[in-house]
A and B are shown apart, each in its own frame.
Chain A
Amino acid sequence: MADARSADVVIIGGGPGGYVAAIRAAQLGLSTVCVEMDKTLGGTCVNVGCIPSKALLTSTEHYEFARLHAAEHGVKLAGVSFDLAVMMKRKDSVVGQNTKGIEFLFKKNKIEWARGRGTLKPGNVVDVEGADGQTNSFQAKHVIIATGSIPVELPFLKFDEKRILSNIGALVVPEVPKHLIVIGGGVIGLELGSVWRRLGAKVTVVELQPTILPGNDADVIKEADKIFRKQGMEIRTGTKVTGAKQDGDRVLVDIDTDGKAETLDADYVLVSVGRKPWLTGIDATALGLELGERGEIVVDAEMRTNLPNVFAIGDAVGGKLLAHKAEEEGVVAAEVIAGHHARMDYKSMPSVVYTSPEIATVGLAEHEVKATGREYKVGKFPFSANGRARTMAQTSGFVKFIADAATDELLGCHIIGLNAADLIQEVVLAVEYRGSSEDIGITVHSHPTLSETVKEAALGVLGRSIHI
C-alpha cells in the first residue's frame, strides 16, 4: 500500500446517499473520493429504481388517460396504441440525463469518481478494484459506507431477471406480460404492477399480510385497495406463496389463502417482498463493524458506526429504504465530518407511493398513535369536495390529519389522491417546526388548488372545515 493516496473522505457507493454526501463534503472543502462500481453514478434509485419507474409510470399514465379519460374532457382520440420500445427508450434517456447530471456535479465540485469495487480495509484504507483488474488504494481520514440494499430473494423463486424479476428486470421486460404475478404488495410491487396493468397485463398482487401496504394508516389502505381493484388489479391478501415451478415461458406459483391452495399460471413474476442491506466490500466481521438484527449497520444520530471515523448512511443502515432519507443522512455525515453540528431526525421523514393516485405519508399512522395511549383528534377531507380536483376529474382519495387532542401537535398526515407527493410537503415542514393542525388551518392556501384539501383537513381536526 505504499502508493495509497490520502483523502479526507472516501465514500463507498454512488447512489443518492453516497453522491449527495460527496457533493456536500466537497462543498465543505474536504477532498472527496466516491467509489462506484457501476458504469454510471446514481445507484439503485437513478438507474433501476425511483427514476426509471417514474418515467414508465408517467408514460403509461398518459396512455391510460388517452384510452379511458380523454373522452370525458371532450378530447376525441381514435386508435390509441402504444410503442413499448419508445417508452423504454425515453425511460433510458431520462436515466441517462440523470446519471450524466451527477457526473457533471462531480466535476463541478472536484469530486473524484473512483471507478471500481471498493473494499474497506482496517485502518480506513479503501481498495478500489477497477474493471481492468488494477487496484487503487486510498488512505481515508473518514469513510462513509453507502453500499445500499438488494432485493430479498425467495428460495424457490431465484431471480433470473427474464421470467423471475426483481425491480431491475421488471423495468426492462421486452413485451407486455399476459399475466404478471407480483409477490409482495408494497411500494415497488404496486408501482411496477401498475405500469404493466396499464399496458394491458393481467396483474395479480399476492400479499402475505392481511392488507396491501402493510404498516400504513388503515383508512389509506382501505381506500387504496378499493381504487386499485377498481382499476383492474387483482389483489390477494393474507395469501402465502408456498412454492413455484418454471415450465418454459410459464411460471406456476402455488398460493395458499386460509388453507385453500391454488396454483396461479403466469408468464412473469415480480418478487418484491422487501430489500435488505447490501454490504459488498465491507467485511463486517473482520473489521469489527457492528451490525443490527437485520444485517444493517448500526449508527448513531451523527451517522457514526462503532469504528473510528467510519460513517454509514442510506439503505445500508436500515430504517425506511428511501432515497431522500439516504440523502439527508449523507448530508449529516458530511457535515459531522467537517466538524459541523448535524443530527439525523426521522420524525418528519415523508414517504410516497407513486401509484395513481399517489399515496404520501408523514408521521404516525392512527394505529401507531393509538398504541402510544395519547388522546388524539382526526381531521379528514375528501378530494371530491375540492373544486380544483373536480375540474381535473380526479376526485378519488382524501387528506387525513391526526393531531394531539390537548396541544394540537401534528402527529401524522396521510394523503391518498392526485399529487399527494407534492401536497405532503407543507405538512413535512410544519412537523419539522413542531407545528399544529391550526398552523396549517389558519394559513392562506391559494384557490383553487388541490392544496386546499390539506388546509380543510387540518381545519377538520378543529371541527371547522368550511367546505364539508
Chain B
Amino acid sequence: MLPIKVPPLGESIVEATVSRWLKKQGDAVAGGDTIVELETDKITVEVPAPRAGVLSSLSVAEGDVVKVDQLLAELDEAAVAAAGSSADGDSASNAAPGGTGTATPSTDAKSSPAARRVAAEAGIDVAGVKGTGRGGVVSKPDVVEHVAQAAEKPKSAEQRGSVDAAPAVESRSDVTPKPSFVNAPSSNGERETREKMTTRRKRIAENLLQSQHATAHLTTFNEIDMSAVNALREKMKERVEKEHGVKLTFMPFFVKATCMALEGFPVVNAQIDADSIIYKHYVNMGIAVASDAGLVVPNIKDAHRKGVIELSRDIGAVAKRARDGKLSMDDLTGGTFTITNGGVFGSLVSTPIINYPQVGILGLHKTQERPIAMNGQVVIRPMMYVALSYDHRIVDGQQAVLFLVRVKELLEDPATMLIS
C-alpha cells in the first residue's frame, strides 16, 4: 500500500478543503493521473497518483478539511497487474474481477474488535465500510449500519453490479461537475440553505475583517479625465498587438502611473511591522482578480522596472492563471500595493479594503462620459472616479491626496511619464 498524502501547500498554508475526487475507490490509475483536487484559501492543488495502481481506499470525503501530510488515499501498486490495461482507462472488458461473495476479514484495516466480528459473520470486508470512529476507525455501529443499508437497497445494489462490467466508463461519468452556486431555491422548498464556508471563503473573510480591524482605514477620491490615455491606447493598440502579440488594455497604464507615483510617496508602498515602518524599494503590484472561487490578488513582481508592454503581457498571463485556478504561491505572496478595478462590473465609485498588511489600495471604476466644466465651458469628457484607501496610521492625509493627484496627473498627460 502506497499512502497518498496532502502535499506541501506552500508557505504558511497548513490546511485545504477537499474540493472533489476525480477517482473513486477501486479505480485503476496511471502514474501522474490527478486523483483529487484540494482547495486552499489561495490556490487549487491537484494531487497526482505517484505511480500506477488501484485506489484501495479513500480516507477523506469531499468537503473535508485536511492538513499537510494527512492521508488522502492508499494506492495498491500490486493490484495494477490485476487491473490490467484498465489502468490506462481504455477498455471495459479488462476490468478487475468483482468480489466473489465470501470475504476474508481484513486485518490491517483500522477497525474495532466487535466490528471485525460482525463483518466476518456478515461476510463483508471491513475495508469496504466507511469508518466514523476517531481517525476513521470502523466501528461495530458502522458495520451494522452498512449491512442494514445494503439490505434496504437490494435493487440498487443489483444495478451497481451490472455497471461493474464497465468500470472505466462509470468512473468517467462519476466525475461530477463542481456544485453550482446558483441562488435558486432548494429543491425541497426550503427558504434558506445553510452551507459550510470553504477554507478559501473563511480565509477571505478573516483577512478582510483583520484589515478592517487592524488598520486605520480611510479613503480619498479623485477623478481622471481619460481622454489622453484613450487616445494613446487607440493610436498604439494595433501596432502593439501586431508587433508584440499583446492586447493593450488600460490596466498597464494605471500600473505604470501608480508605480511612478509610489516612487514619489514611498510610504504608500510601505508596511508596518510592530513599531517599525518597512519601506520597499520595489513595487510588486497586486491586481485583484475575480475568479469563480472568489477574489484573489496575484502580484506582478518588480512592476516598477517594467514598461507598459511588458506589464500588459504579465497582467494578461497572471489574470489567466487566476481564472484557471493555476496561481502559484509566488504569484500570491510578496505584494506591496494593490489595484482593484470595480469598473469592469460597472461600479461608478466604491471604497476598496486595504489588502493587509499593505497600506494602500487604488480602486479604479467605470469610465463614463460626463459633462464637466473646463476653461469656463461645459464639455463632455470620458471620466473615471478613482479611490485610494490607505492606512492612516502611517500614511498622512496630505500624502494620500497628493499621491492620488500624482496618479491623476500622469494619466491625464501620459507624456509626463516619459519626463519623470
Q: Which A residues are within 8 Å of any B CB, using their own CB? A: 2, 6, 123-124, 139, 308-309, 339-341, 404, 406-409, 432-436, 438-439, 441-443
Contacts and interface: CB of A to CB of B under 8 A. Distances in A.
A435 B140 contact: yes
Contacts of B133: 432-435
Interface string B132-150: 1111010111101100100
Chain B facing A: main interface SS: helix
Contact of A438 (B67, B117, B206, B275): B117
Contacts of A443: 113
B65 A435 contact: no
Nearest to A3: B275
Interface string B198-226: 00000000100110011000000000000
Interface in B21-74: 65-67
A9 to B, nearest CB: 16
A-B pairs with lowest CB-CB distance, top 10: A436-B140, A407-B141, A438-B114, A433-B133, A409-B141, A434-B139, A339-B14, A407-B144, A434-B133, A439-B114
23 contacts: A124-B213, A308-B209, A308-B210, A340-B14, A341-B66, A341-B67, A406-B148, A407-B140, A407-B141, A408-B141, A432-B133, A433-B135, A433-B137, A434-B133, A434-B134, A434-B137, A434-B139, A434-B141, A436-B114, A436-B115, A438-B114, A439-B140, A442-B117
Nearest to A442: B113
Given A432-B134, A442-B114, A404 B141 contact: yes
A439 B15 contact: no
A339 B41 CA distance: 13
A407 B147 CA distance: 10
Given A308-B206, A339-B15, A408-B114, 8 more contacts: A340-B15, A340-B67, A341-B65, A407-B144, A433-B112, A434-B132, A438-B114, A439-B115
Contacts of A435: 112, 114, 133, 139-140
Contacts of A407: 140-141, 144-145
B329 to A, nearest CB: 15
A309 B145 CA distance: 40
A439 B112 contact: yes
B274 interface: yes
A139 B134 CA distance: 37
A309 B135 CA distance: 28
Nearest to A309: B210
A64 B209 CA distance: 60
Nearest to A437: B114
Of listed B12, B114, B117, B214, residue having the most chain A CB within 10 A: B114
Contacts of B14: 339-340
Of listed A124, A406, A433, A438, residue having the most chain B CB within 10 A: A433
Given A435-B112, A438-B140, A339 B12 contact: yes
Nearest to A123: B213
A438 B116 CA distance: 11
Nearest to A462: B114
A340 B67 CA distance: 7
Of listed A139, A434, A438, residue having the most chain B CB within 10 A: A434
A261 to B, nearest CB: 52
Interface string B114-133: 11010000000000000011
Contacts of A404: 141
Nearest to A430: B112
A413 B183 CA distance: 46
B134 A433 contact: yes
B151 to A, nearest CB: 12
A404 B114 CA distance: 14
A428 B145 CA distance: 22
B89 to A, nearest CB: 33
A182 to B, nearest CB: 39
Nearest to A408: B140
A410 to B, nearest CB: 9
Nearest to A443: B113
A123 B211 CA distance: 11
Contacts of A308: 206, 209-210, 213
Contact of B113 (A139, A408, A439): A439
A434 B129 CA distance: 14
B214 A436 contact: no
A423 B323 CA distance: 58
Contact of A409 (B140, B210, B213): B140
A406 B143 CA distance: 11
Contacts of A439: 112-115, 139-140
A321 B374 CA distance: 73
Contact of B142 (A341, A434, A441): A434
A435 B112 CA distance: 7
A308 B135 CA distance: 30
Contacts of B206: 308
Contacts of B213: 123-124, 308
Contact of B139 (A6, A339, A433, A441): A433
Given A433-B133, A436-B140, A123 B214 contact: yes
A407 B139 CA distance: 10
Contacts of A438: 113-114, 117, 140
A139 B133 CA distance: 40
Contacts of A309: 210
A375 B303 CA distance: 69
A406 B144 contact: yes
B181 to A, nearest CB: 23
B371 to A, nearest CB: 45
